[in-house]
Structure formats: structure tokens, C-alpha cells
Chain A
């Protein structure tokens, strides 16, 4: 390594491993830039968020409704969800929901929810 500092550099003095690693790095670099630039050229799409109930079960003396929230558009934060069962309304928040991401959680009801009538409503979000 000390000799390399003193010699004038030519390609023949560069070890093969250096060429291989440099080539891999160049491919990764160009690939990342190309993917990002291609993604950046697309028109922006607003968050496309939907929610559904995936199950209801009894826990202690209350009823737990499991909720799944899915985002098919651009990332969103502070996603506000309301779950409505008859006269009971419960809310939940998803801090951050990236593109094509699913968040699961749930809310508690005092009365047994009607599976046919329970619904999930998106009430707000912040576009990231």
C-alpha cells in the first residue's frame, strides 16, 4: 500500500477486487438514481386510504374490533379513522402509512358490534 502512494498509478496496478467493487458500486448507484428519477417523473397521486373490519372478538367484558387500514396512494401521516357501530363511535390514528402499506389495529366497543352494520370511515390525514 505504501508503494502505491509513491508510484504513478496505472490501471495494471489496481487490484482486481477494486475493479469488481467499483463496478458493483457504479451499477448500484446508477440503478438507484434511475429508479428514483423514474419514480419522480410520475405525476403525484394523493393518498388512497381505505379501512375494513377483519374480525370481532370478546375481550374481558368488552368487544374488540380488529381493523385493517390500507394505503394505495402516496404516503400519508396522522391518518384518522372512525369505526362506527350503531350509536358507538370509536376513533384510531395511524401515525404514518407509506405507499402500498397496511396497518392493523383495533378499537373497543361496550356493546357487541353488528357485523353487518359496523363500518370504517376515513376522517382525515396529512399528506407526507
Chain B
């Protein structure tokens, strides 16, 4: 047991995975790290909502580790360890970049430092776990025989990750608010329809399923996926305070605006996570 624990090759391989994770975390989070609204949100957003976001993110990271993590493993212990390792890599990476940018450091209140690091590292951790998919050719080949769990929950989870992948770059920005305010209810409905059509088109192109009717795919995949996008966007907007002190209709409009990139991300999720349906 001790020999495996200290095995140089195993530890070296894991170290390689960590480096890929750090790279993935920075690639994913760099647009957010350079977004002024994220710095301000980190300093000002509700602390309990941010703590809740971290708590909600952890099981998602464990599940993501199962699907795409930086080492191939079925062990729940390893998936939990990898999720925490992704967070560690993300916190260290984000803290370093924020310090270089001057957004954290001496003279800046510790609560702002904690808030900025927390707000950014949960997003970077997703990139850390996706890293192996993007940067490891060996892993891409292994995925051909990797687990083939294409149940409803796993499909929706993959779409949720794709939705976050794109929506997180836009959700913190202030443009969502004036966009939603400028749109009439008819325009909001049109945008929702466009998002549904785009998602359906992408799913039709990515998922090469035989024997499934267009209507069947639309109800089982597209509508379900768009519903996941709406829920994710609603939660993200609430977390960032973009649903506070506004009417339900205005909130709905903001969710629809954010759900457009989320839907595109959800549809392309199978490409991002390297999985293809073969039902």
C-alpha cells in the first residue's frame, strides 16, 4: 500500500495532470479574471450567496471529475480528491493572477480579497477539470472506451456544464441589464425561440441518433436542455444580485438574455466534453 502511495510514476503522472488542470483553470477563467464587473462583484456581492455558490459547486465538481476530470478514475474518493485539488489549483492560480493585476494585495480589505478569490475560483475549477479533455491527447483516445453513461441525468449534467461554460463569461457583465430592459416582451419571446431553435440545431448535428423523431428529440433533449439553461441562468443571476429589487417580468427577460449563450454552450457541450451519443 505504501509503495503505491509513494510510487514515483503515479505521483509524476498526477503532477502532470495538476499542471494541465492549472492551465485549464487559467484558460477558462482568464476572461473573468480580466472583467471589471467580476472584481466589483467579488467585493460587493452577498457573502451568504457566494458561500452557497461554493457549496453548490462542490458536488458539481465531483460529478464533473467523474465525467471529465484530470485523471481517469471511477473511485468516489479520487473524484472528491480531484474536485478539491481542482479548487486548490484554481484558488492559487486566481490569487496569483489577481495579485499581479493589483486587484488583491496589501492595502485591500481582506474581505474583498476573499470575495474576489471565491467568486473567480469556482469558475476556474470547472476549467481545471475540463483541462484534461482539452490538453491531453492520451485522454482523448481513452475516452473512446470511457464510460458510456448516456442516461438522461448525465446528458442534462453535460449540458449544464456547457451552459455554465459560456454563460459565466457574460453573466457578471452589466450589459445583461440594459439589454433586457431595452427588449420588449415580444423580443424576449423571440429570443427564447431563437435559443430553442439554435439548441435543437446543434443537438441534431452533434447527437447522431438513429430512430429518434425530430419531435422526440425536441421534447426529450432540446426542451429539457433549455429548461436546465433557464434554471442555471436564473440561479447565476440571483447569486450575482441581478434579480434583486426588480419585477418578475424584468427578471425573466434577463434570464432569457443570458440563456442564449447558455443554450449554445449546452448544445456544444458534447463537443467540449468529447462525448458523442451512439444510442
Contact surface of A with B, Cβ cutoff 8 Å: 1-2, 4-5, 9-19, 21-26, 28-29, 32-33, 35-37, 39-41, 74-75, 77, 96, 98-102, 128
Contacts and interface: CB of A to CB of B under 8 A. Distances in A.
Interface in B47-85: 47-48, 50-51, 54-55, 58, 71-75, 77-78, 80-85
Contact of A35 (B40, B44, B86, B114): B114
27 contacts: A1-B13, A11-B1, A12-B4, A12-B5, A14-B77, A14-B81, A15-B6, A15-B14, A16-B6, A19-B81, A22-B82, A24-B84, A28-B87, A28-B91, A29-B87, A32-B51, A36-B51, A40-B47, A40-B50, A75-B40, A75-B44, A96-B40, A98-B108, A98-B109, A98-B112, A99-B109, A100-B108
A7 B11 CA distance: 17
B74 A9 contact: yes
A5 B73 contact: yes
Nearest to A5: B72
Interface string B177-208: 00000000000000000000000000000000
B223 interface: no
Contact of B72 (A2, A98, A100): A2
Contacts of A18: 14, 71, 78, 81-82, 85
Nearest to A44: B46
Contacts of A12: 1-2, 4-5
Nearest to B48: A40
Contacts of A39: 47, 111, 114
B84 A21 contact: yes
B51 A15 contact: no
A120 to B, nearest CB: 21
Contacts of A22: 80-82, 84-85, 88
A53 to B, nearest CB: 21
Given A5-B73, A18-B81, A98 B51 contact: no
Nearest to A9: B75
A40 B109 contact: no
Contacts of B7: 15
Contact of B5 (A4, A16, A96, A98): A16
A29 B85 CA distance: 10
B142 interface: yes
B118 interface: yes
The 5 closest A-B pairs by CB, nearest first: A25-B84, A9-B75, A22-B81, A12-B1, A40-B47
